[in-house]
Amino acid sequence: MIRRPLRTFTVLIGVAATVTAFAAPVSAAPVLTEAAGPATLAAAQQKLGTSLGAAFAGSWLDTTGRLVVGTTDASHSARIRAAGAVPKVLRHSTAELRRIQSTLDNRTAGLPGSVAGWYIDVVANDVVVSVVGGDATGRAWAASAGVPVRVEQVKSAPRPLWDVVGGQGLYFSGGACSVGFNAYDDDDRYVITAGHCTELGGTVHGVDGTIGKVAKSSFPGNDYGTVRVTHSDVDTPPRVDRYEDGSDVRIEGADVVGVGGRICRSGITTHWQCGRVEALDQTVNYGNGNVVRGLTQTDACAEPGDSGGSFVSRPSSGSGTKRVQAQGMTSGGSGDCRSGGTTFFQPVKEVLNRYDLTLEKD
């Protein structure tokens, strides 16, 4: 009678031991990855940043796309896992790194031109100062800040980007024209304008600097040409300037407006002018053997300097961003914008097909 209870007790102990052996802390949530989407990741990062407080040391996606959250307190690791992130214990908190960055922000007086900038490297958990070519003056400035930083060498200093926009100025060594449209192929970006403009050849400038050199040109017979964009500070958005008539319109395609349809054009001389299509596929004699075929006739006025500028479908009158269809580039005409006149444009689809280009568009 004594052994039976002992055996029963032994079994109970064994069961208890088994339960204890397989018991585990609260399960960690599945690790969040880039596939969760920006909104989910942002919410998780904000929640952890708040809950970790002064111990928060930033967050990022690792090379596999997992959400990693840094902390200066290893005891917070379980909380980070429970939220679906991978914990990493780091030396500096986000607040500490921001204080270092702020110290640099307040030392811009006498800043050497070789210092390209500074930023928080959240993965490396330090503040980085970028110095062009490892310049000694730039390195000395970083060292004199009195805060711990890491200096990295970069090839060149940043510079503001500027836009080449349809209807704005396009300057050749022998004259001025207007930008038509921006386009690209597999290797390069191009500005499309009139061929009698690109016939001038050479280096081409825009409103804020050098764009590149003439790439191809076709005139007479046709009236189109391209400038290859070679400067890295040049941006080529799908926009056309309306000048004083409103904000830029944006290109969304190249559907053709037929006879009687409303169109508008933009150029540096007469800015934004509108009218209607009067005829398609017209042959025009500009004199001196300069005959151009396949042009579209309109009653939208233009004057010298407007050549090459954008012709687009007329934008809607409603509010919001105005989107238009690219039509072509101003070629020539008669009359002026005081008494009225006739203007011809080179359809843009022909140059796109000829040079295997794609319009920049929304």
* pLDDT reading at 5 higher than 70: no
Q: Do domains 45-90 and 96-154 have the same CATH topology?
A: yes
> Which alpha helices (DSSP H) does the chain contain, by range?
3-22, 38-52, 77-82, 94-105, 136-143, 195-198, 348-355
Task: Map residue 86 onto helix, strand or coil.
Answer: strand
Task: Map residue 289 onto helix, strand or coil.
Answer: coil
- What local confidence, expressed as pLDDT, does residue 102 receive? 93
CA separation for the pair 25, 181 (Å, rounded) = 63
- CA 260, 263, 268, 270 torsion-angle sign: positive
- What local confidence, expressed as pLDDT, does residue 57 receive? 95
Active site amino acids: 196, 223, 307
Which of the four pLDDT bands, split at 50, 70 and 90, describes residue 350? very high
Residue-wise pLDDT for 41-83, tens only, equals 999 999 999 999 999 999 999 999 999 999 999 999 999 999 9
Place of tokens 């510079």: 159
Residue with the bigger pLDDT between 43 and 6: it is 43
For residue 169, what are the CA distances in angstroms to 79, 120, 208, 247, 271? 59, 40, 10, 17, 10
- DSSP string of 129-193, one letter each residue: EEEETT-HHHHHHHHTTSS--EEEEESS-----EE--BTSEEEETTEEEE--EEEE-SS-EEEEE
Asked if residue 220 has a cis previous peptide bond (ω within 30° of 0), the answer is yes
Q: CATH for 96-154, among 3.20.20.80, 3.10.20.30, 3.40.50.11810, 3.30.300.50?
A: 3.30.300.50
Residue spans per domain, the chain? 45-90, 96-154, 161-362
Would you state the CATH architecture of domain 161-362?
Answer: Beta Barrel (2.40)
Q: Beta partners for 166?
A: 240
Residue-wise pLDDT for 298-335, tens only, equals 999 999 999 999 999 999 876 677 999 999 999 999 99
Q: Nearest 5 degrees, angle CA 205-CA 242-CA 184?
A: 50
For residue 357, what are the CA distances in angstroms to 82, 183, 191, 348? 52, 6, 11, 10
Which of the four pLDDT bands, split at 50, 70 and 90, describes residue 265? very high
* pLDDT reading at 354 higher than 80: yes
Residue-wise pLDDT for 196-255, tens only, equals 999 999 999 999 999 999 999 999 999 999 999 999 889 999 999 999 999 999 999 999
Q: Nearest 5 degrees, angle CA 247-CA 251-CA 254?
A: 145
Residue-wise pLDDT for 120-145, tens only, equals 999 999 999 999 998 999 999 999 99
Q: What's the pTM value of the predicted model, to 2 decimals?
A: 0.66
Q: CATH for 45-90, among 3.30.300.50, 3.40.50.11540, 3.40.30.10, 2.60.120.650?
A: 3.30.300.50
CA separation for the pair 38, 26 (Å, rounded) = 27
- Running DSSP on this structure, what letter comes out for residue 220? S
Do 152 and 132 form a contact (C-beta atoms < 8 A)?
no
Of 358, 242, 256, the residue nearest 310 (C-alpha)? 242
Lowest-pLDDT choice from 148-162, 176-190, 260-274: 148-162
